[in-house]
Structure formats: C-alpha cells, structure tokens
Structure 1
Amino acid sequence: MHDVFSDDGPVRLFIHDDDETPLEFVQDLLRTVFGKSEQEAIACAALIEANGAIPCGPYPGPVARAIFNSAKWLIRSNGQPLMISTESADASRPCDLCEAPRAVTEILIPGTTTASLCSDCLLAARRSSEDVPGETFRSAYVALDWHFAGVPRNLIVTRARQFPGHMRADVQVAIDKLFTDPIHFFGIHEEYRYETLDFAALMKAGRNAPAIAPPQYRDVDIGEAEPVKCLVNGLWLCRTAELRYAVLLTFYREYNHEPSLRIELALPAGAAGNAFVQRTFAELETAVHAARSYRGKILSLEDGANYRGRSRGLTVHRLPTVARDDVILPERTLRLLDRNVLDFVESRDLLRKLGQSTRKGILLYGPPGTGKTHTIRYLATNLPGHTTLIITAEQVGLLGAYMSLARLLQPTMIVIEDVDLIARDREDMGGPCEESLLNKLLNEMDGLKEDCDIVFVLTTNRPEELEGALAGRPGRIDQAIEVPLPDETGRGKLVRLYGRGLPLEPPVIDAAVQRTAGVSAAFIKELMRRIAQASIARGEGRDVTAEDIDSALNEMLFDGGRLNVKLLGGAQGMSAG
C-alpha cells in the first residue's frame, strides 16, 4: 500500500465520527493538534457529527505526517476509538466557488461548512462573513483567528509605534480620525496591568486567554469645556479593498518610566502589507502632530509627591490674560521685555528669511516678590499661537520630555523658574550635583536648531549664582532683564491695583506710596489687605485713613520682628509712623 507520506506531496487528513468519542475530546484535538481556534473547533466537531467526517488540509507531506502522528498519540493515550485517515491531495485543484484550477486554501466558513477556495474567492468569503456579530467573540484570539481566516499565524507580522503617554489626547484624536470604519471594535481585559499587551499575548489561547471586554475610557483635561475621552486600550479589526489588518492600542510599561502609548498593526506578510504599514504610520504621525489638544496653551508635566521620573500626564493652566497696563514695571524695563520677546516673535519670519536665528534665551532677575511670575503670565497670555511650558526647578530632571514636547508643539516658550536652585554646588546643596542639571539645560539650549521657534525664559532671585556658568557658555542667554523693586510711580500703581475695592482718597494713596519705599510688589499686596482689615475693624470698610496704614505697617514691620519683614519683602529701616 502506498504511503501517502513517502514524498513531499500535499496530504489531506480526515477525522471520522464514531458515535463513541466524546465531543469535548474531538474539540480539544482540533485545538491542540490541528491549531483550530475555539470557535472553529466547536463548529468542526459539529460538522463531524453531522456529516460523518471532515477533511483537514491539505498539508505538505512532512507537516501532515507530524500532525497525524501527534493526533494518533493523543487518541491512544486517552483510550479513544477516534479514527483519522489520510489521502494524497493535488497541490492544485478546482476552487469550490469559481472552479478555476488554482492553489486553494481550505477554510471553515462560519456557520456552514468547509470550503477549498482560491485567493480571490477567499477574500470574497471573508467579506461575506463580516455579518458575524461582535458578541459572538469571547476571547481576543478567537476574533483574530476569524479575522485572519486562512492566513497561518506565522505569516502574520506586526509593527508598532510609541508615543509619550502625556500625549494621549492628541493620539486619541488621531486614532479617531484614521480608524473610523472597523469591521469590529473591542476593549481588552488586562489581567495584569503591569505587563504590556501586544498581539502575541492576544493570540494566546487557553484558560488565561485575554478576554473581550467593554471599551474603557478616561477623561483627560485639555483645558477646554469638555475633556477628551481617551481609551485605556482597544482592538480594531479593519480591512481595505485588498488587505485585512488589526490595530491594537495599549500602554507600554517600563519600570520607573512614564508609560508610553503603543500602537501595533498586525497584517499578512508581504510587500502590500509593508507599504500599508508605512503609509498608515506616516498618516498617524502626521495626525498626531497636527492635533490641537494642547497647542497654544500653558502646560506643565504632572508629577507626584514622591516623584521618581514618571509623569501621569499634562496639567493645563487656566490663567487670565494679563494686560500690559497690569504689569507694574518701569517703562524702560517693559519696553526691553516687549522688544526681546513679543516683538521678536512677530518678526520671526523676516528674521528667518535674513538667515538669523529664531530661538532666544531671556533671563529675568531681581529680588523676590518683584513680579517675575506675573511678568511670565503677561508674556504667556500675549504670545499669539504659542504653547508655554512651565518647568519648576524640581522638574529639571524631566527636561528631555519637556524639550520633546516643545519641539512637537512649536512655537513654544519654555519657562524655568528659580533656575538658580539647580546651579548650586554639591557641597552647598548636600546632595546630588545640581550643577550637572544646569549644564544639561545649557546643552539642550545649545543643541536646538537655529530655526527652532522656541524662546527660553529663565527666572532667578540670585543672578550671582548663575554668572559663572552663563559666562562660560556665551550665546545661551541673549538678554538679561532686571525686574527691580517698584519705584514711586510703580508703587502708586500697585496701591491702586491691590486696593481697587477700597474707598481710597488721594492723600491716603500718597501716604502709602511714601511709606513703602524700597519694598517689593508682594509687600504692597499684603499691605493693602491689612489696610482693608484695619478699615473693617474700625469702620466696617466704609473709608480708609492714615491710622489704618499705621495699624497695618505696625503689624507687618514690628509685631513680627525682622524675620517677618524679610519674609514679606519689606525694606530694612522702614518705620511705622
């Protein structure tokens, strides 16, 4: 008798019904030996019972021999009478649909029977099965096996891209734009949240197979009236005219790092699939870069109380617009600020045409409480189309993430407050070498391309801490601007600004201005609150007198001692009367 395995020709295996072997055993055999999905195994076992036998294959001779031997071993070891027969099969036979003599693939058409189909008819059969309802699927691997019916798993390839986790709102907008008409869409139950979910895990069968779940969303604040509804994970089953593919959105988790958004494509190997992947990822990256979730807003990366290099997302700061008249600085200082920031930004296009750099570094320096933060708010709310990134000294370790964000969201203004805190020597700080962080900042500023639309604004209360480092790296700071203590005109504006709700007469304003020479803006702000309290205690706030000023100054200058004067930004030698 001819051994069908004696050559490398195709072989078909037949599983026969014997009315004795339990149906569960047949289903297990189909899954473990023949590689059927759970859904296919159930359907095939039912066909065996209904028709008396079903063919499997054809397989190449060596593959058929291995499957046949594995099946016989499993049957004998379990003491079952199930019979499997073999027969030679031609590599080319008529397609069951178009009857053309071509190479065919045998598949199970859900709910009906098996069919041997050529590649053209296989695509048509897949399309005709798209009415399978989504609730039919319980596990991810069942859905994927159905979606890629007729494509061996070893011929399915995957490609992935990763995006920073704090950009999840923009990524969600891009996904919503690109994957609008899937055949099916599912959420995935992640049993172990610390592991990264990928297609290799989704195709796992058995008791711990990832299950289909309702899609989960988290609201992400982007500073608008409505948050962006962002997926925790998602699985899209999609198709084009010639190609079926799947998309998986999940998080890539790495210890001590911010989770990244991971987008993975799975599709049949080949030139068409490779071209599709390149085109899709290019469109995705373009869509992410074009998203406007955070562009033009005032942002900072979130951190936790015990920050260890991870961030959970972006904080959008909702700051009211600060008008120029509300910036209490000497006019020459304000003109210098406008010329080096606002006017510079307006002339960028012409500067670029003339071959000039469009990046800039500004240092704001002056005593505490003089209004450097208020000046930053003025710039941030008056730069048209600019995204502002606010970095505290504690977050300089995140400088790489901030710089990536700045390049993505150009034009940007990067604000680093109290930069002197990262410039102290190790001996002074008693900890890690903060000076290296300043060098890192200067290196980032130096590494930017000349045509980057990025403005750095650094603030400090102690410019002497920075002189050595900045003098040794010229060109990083293009203009230092002093934010001085308010002069007499400035103090008058501050008294009116912070006392705008009080019934202030000109003599009272003049007295407050004369008595506050050498103080900071913060001192005057607190003084006006104390004057309001004194007025309320004396006459329910109906008027303000010189006695109210005396009462407030006594409390601020004398009752709290010298330390209180220093903390409030007062001048040494001030008198109450």
Structure 2
Amino acid sequence: MNINALDNNPKWINFRYYGSFLYFPVAFILYLAFPYLGPILLGFSIVAFIQIISRRLKAANFIDNILSTELGFASERLFYLENFPDYQFVDIHNSVKKYLSSTKTFKKNNISNPESLNDILNHRFHSELNRTPQESDNISWKVSEDEDIYLKVDNLWIVKDNYPKIIRLRYDSYNNNTILEVSTTDSNFYESFIKDLKKDIIENSIYRGKVLSITSQVIEGIDYGEKSSKVGIQFQKINRIKSQDIILSDKIKNILDFNVFEFFHNHEILSNNLPTLNRGLLFYGPPGTGKSFTSQYLFGRLKNVTIIVASGQSLTQINTISSIGRTLQPSIILLEDVDLVFSSRELNNFNSTLGDLMNQLDGYAKKEHMLFILTTNHIERVEKAIKDRPGRISQCVYFDLPNLDLRIKYLKNEIKNYL
C-alpha cells in the first residue's frame, strides 16, 4: 500500500498549517541578527502569507461551486458517517458502485483530504488543505489468490438523482478503518441506502466462499510510542484432497461426517429442530498425525463455505476473527496450535483473550451457521473451561499414530501411481 501514515495524520497536517504562521516572527528574528537580509525575508514572508490566504479562498470557492452548481442546495443538509473495518474497503466500494450504476446521473471527484465531509462542506478550515479536486493516492488490494486491483484511497461521488446527494468513501490508514460519509437533503435516503449496502456487502463479499488466512501486525503509533494491532486478510491456496487420499480411522471419519458434513448439509433442518447449534471440535494428538491435513480435506469437500485460518499472534484477534466468520456464514474458523495462546489460565499471559474465545464459543446467536475447529499438540495445556465444556467443544478428536492397517493403506495410496 503506497500510503504514508504520517501524511494522513490530521495532527501532522495541523502542525504544518499553524507552523506556517511562524514565518513572520522567524523572519523578524533573522532580520535582527542579519539586517542586510531584511528585504529578502520580508518578501519571503509576504509570499508565504499570500499562499495561505490563496489556499483558503480557492477551497472556499470550490465548496461554493459544488453547492451551487452541482448540488443546487446550501441549507438543510444532513450528514451521516459510518465506520467499517478496513478489510471491507473493496466490498463497500463495489456496493457503492453498484448503487451508482442504478442512478440517473453522478459525477466522481477524487480528493485527498483527512477531514470529514461535514467539515469540508461547512468551510471548517482548521488545517492546511487544498480542497480542489485532485487525484488521491492509489491503494493495491488483493481480490483473489492471483488478482490485484487498484482503488483510490479517497472517493467522492456527486449524485443528482431526485434529491442531490454526496457519497464519500475513504480508506483511513492512520486509524485502520474504512469511512463512509453521505450528505443529502432526503432524510429517508440514508436509512434505506445503508441497509441495502450492508446486505450487498455480506452477500457479495470478495472473501465469501474462499480460504482466508488472518494476519495480525503490531503498529507503532506516531504519538507517544502508542501501539495498536492491525488485522489483515490474505487469500490462501489449498490443495483439494480427494476422499481416497485421506487415510483416517473409521472412527474419525464418522465423527467428521456427523459433526462437520451433516452440520453444513442439513443446517436448515437442524436449526428448525434443535434449540442450539453451537458446534466446536478440538483436534489433538502428537505432531504429524494428520490434524492439519484433515482440515485441508474438509476445506476441499465443503463448497460455498468460507474458511478462516488463524495461528500464532493472530489468535489474539479472536473477536475480529469471529466477526468475520459471522459476516461470511456459512463458515469454519480454524484456530491452530491453540495451546500457545489459550493455555490454562494459571499459566496464561492472555487471560482477556482467553475470555474472548470462551464467549465466542458460547455463541451470541444460538443458531449460527459457523463451526470452530481448534488444533493442538498438547491438549494438557489447553484451558479446561474450553476442552471440558460440552457447550463450547462438541467433541475432542484424538489423532493417534497410525496402526499397521492404516500404514499399509497409506503406503499403497502413495505408490499406486507408480505401479
């Protein structure tokens, strides 16, 4: 992403603006020290001051032109602002474009401005900004495993359809979110617009039905060394494993059929006949016994199910991960090596995160179309309130070292293409 967080920081922009008023006192001090530079310093200060005033007048003229020429109204404007997670930027952009394609007339401007639409349209010039239309920066975004697109960071559409309105969408890299702003004179427009928009985002998300890997990055703040976490989503390629290529005991196959495939294939029937559908599995056993391989097998067999994979540091973002899973239902959330973060509370440095996981496993909605799968090599380290609570984990599935029969089946499967 070619976005400079410092340049998008309103505090830094304000510093540049108010700092410009220091030209005159600095010039005066230099004049006292070097009198022969007086005319040059005076001329420089006058030019700088004229530039500041010029920016203000140019901005004001542009705003007036929008209101009078493009929109045709200057009073009774209503402003709405909605914050979304940053990873929904492309989905929202696509949904807004879909709405615009159904309107009669619209015009797009690209602006590069960290201020809100309300501040811009009400001439609140509290920072040094040129509000004339200009090309904003581009942002590179993955929309599939092999495809990238480029979108403007700041997008503003002027719609002249029945009631004039302004729709603005911007990616805020400084605060790691997506901001949607709307200005209109029609009080009923926004409610129906945002309802249809959110529905379309959920139904047509670029992430729906894909295998996603969650990343978590700690970001150093510009002010006072503050830190924050940024959650990212990456598309993950998987090798689809055929049923004949997975060598498992009949016991484990039956567990998977009942707890996974039946859960997704017959969800509507189960939902109508059971009081709750909370479902969670815990895969445990020695390393190399097929826990992750089995998960890939499940992913390959389940069509139109969104898979969300998290491990390591990203496990601490369990609330965000669960929110993504709920948005993209039906879904599976795979949490790998959970003993690293969700160990017994006596030994746990992530107690608040442990509580978050237990809340998510309990389920806020009792009939969600979502399945949790947890894996660990050390079940003895996992918190008892997770592994021993039937309402949170439906079944613990032990992956033992293969017996002689399974080893023979595995070897036959591996050499069949060479016979």
Per-residue deviation, 1:356: 4.1
Count of matched residue pairs: 355
- Is residue 170 of structure 2 the alignment partner of residue 247 of structure 1? no
Q: How does 1:34-49 map to 2 (within 5 A)?
A: none
- Is residue 335 of structure 2 the alignment partner of residue 422 of structure 1? no
Q: How big is the alpha-carbon RMSD for the aligned residues of Structure 1 and Structure 2?
A: 3.0
Q: Deviations over 1:3-59 (max 9, x none)?
A: xxxxxxxxxxxxxxxxxxxxxxxxxxxxx9xxx975997xxxxxxxxxxxxxxxxxx
User: Which one of the candidate residues 398, 408, 411 is aligned to 1:492?
Assistant: 408
| 2: CA distance, partners of 1:224 / 1:463 | 34
Q: Which amino acid aligns with 1:366?
A: G
Partner of 2:203: 290
Change (3 A) 1:166 1:491: same
User: Which structure has the bigger radius of gyration?
Assistant: 1
Per-residue deviation, 1:419: 1.1
| 2: CA distance, partners of 1:358 / 1:384 | 20
Per-residue deviation, 1:472: 6.1
User: Which one of the candidate residues 184, 201, 210 is aligned to 1:267?
Assistant: 184
Change (3 A) 1:452 1:248: same
- Is residue 308 of structure 2 the alignment partner of residue 389 of structure 1? yes
- Is residue 392 of structure 2 the alignment partner of residue 476 of structure 1? yes
Partner of 1:311: 230
Q: Which amino acid aligns with 1:261?
A: T
**Could you state the TM-score of these two structures normalised by the residue count of structure 2?**
0.75
Range that drifts further, 418-427 or 173-182: 418-427
| 2: CA distance, partners of 1:426 / 1:141 | 61
| 1: CA distance, partners of 2:408 / 2:228 | 46
Per-residue deviation, 1:303: 3.0
Change (3 A) 1:449 1:205: closer
Q: How does 1:435-450 map to 2 (within 5 A)?
A: 435-450=351-366
Partner of 1:452: 368
- Is residue 84 of structure 2 the alignment partner of residue 163 of structure 1? yes
Give the secondary structure class of the aligned counterpart of 2:339.
helix
| 2: CA distance, partners of 1:467 / 1:143 | 60
Partner of 1:570: none
Q: How does 1:167-566 map to 2 (within 5 A)?
A: 167-180=88-101, 181=103, 182-190=105-113, 195-201=114-120, 204=123, 208-214=129-135, 216-223=137-144, 226-241=147-162, 243-252=163-172, 255=175, 259-268=176-185, 273-304=186-217, 309-311=228-230, 313-424=232-343, 428=347, 433-466=349-382, 468-470=384-386, 473-496=389-412
Q: Deviations over 1:231-264 (max 9, x none)?
A: 31111111222x1111111134665xxx221111
- Kindly indicate whether structure 1 or structure 2 has the higher relative contact order, using CA contacts under 8 Å at least 6 residues apart: 2
Per-residue deviation, 1:374: 0.6
Q: Deviations over 1:377-432 (max 9, x none)?
A: 11112122211111114212211111111111111111111111123357756xxx
Q: Which amino acid aligns with 1:363?
A: L
Q: Deviations over 1:160-210 (max 9, x none)?
A: 1222111122112201101235432111124xxxx4543413654887332
| 2: CA distance, partners of 1:416 / 1:159 | 37
Per-residue deviation, 1:454: 0.7
Per-residue deviation, 1:225: 5.3
Where structure 2 has 5 or more consecutive residues not aligned to the other structure, the ranges are: 1-52, 221-226
| 2: CA distance, partners of 1:378 / 1:310 | 32
Per-residue deviation, 1:140: 5.7
Give the secondary structure class of the aligned counterpart of 1:274.
coil
Residue identity (%): 24
| 2: CA distance, partners of 1:224 / 1:285 | 24
Change (3 A) 1:306 1:370: farther
Contact 2:278 2:392 (8 Å CA) reproduced: no
Contact 1:299 1:388 (8 Å CA) reproduced: yes
Where structure 1 has 5 or more consecutive residues not aligned to the other structure, the ranges are: 1-31, 42-138, 505-577
Change (3 A) 1:313 1:231: farther
Change (3 A) 1:237 1:384: same
Contact 2:211 2:308 (8 Å CA) reproduced: yes
Q: Deviations over 1:340-392 (max 9, x none)?
A: 11122212111122134333111111101111111111111212221111111
Q: Which amino acid aligns with 2:232?
A: G
Q: Which amino acid aligns with 1:210?
A: R
Give the secondary structure class of the aligned counterpart of 1:188.
coil
Change (3 A) 1:313 1:232: farther
Partner of 1:119: none
Contact 1:189 1:211 (8 Å CA) reproduced: no
Contact 1:39 1:142 (8 Å CA) reproduced: no
| 2: CA distance, partners of 1:450 / 1:468 | 22
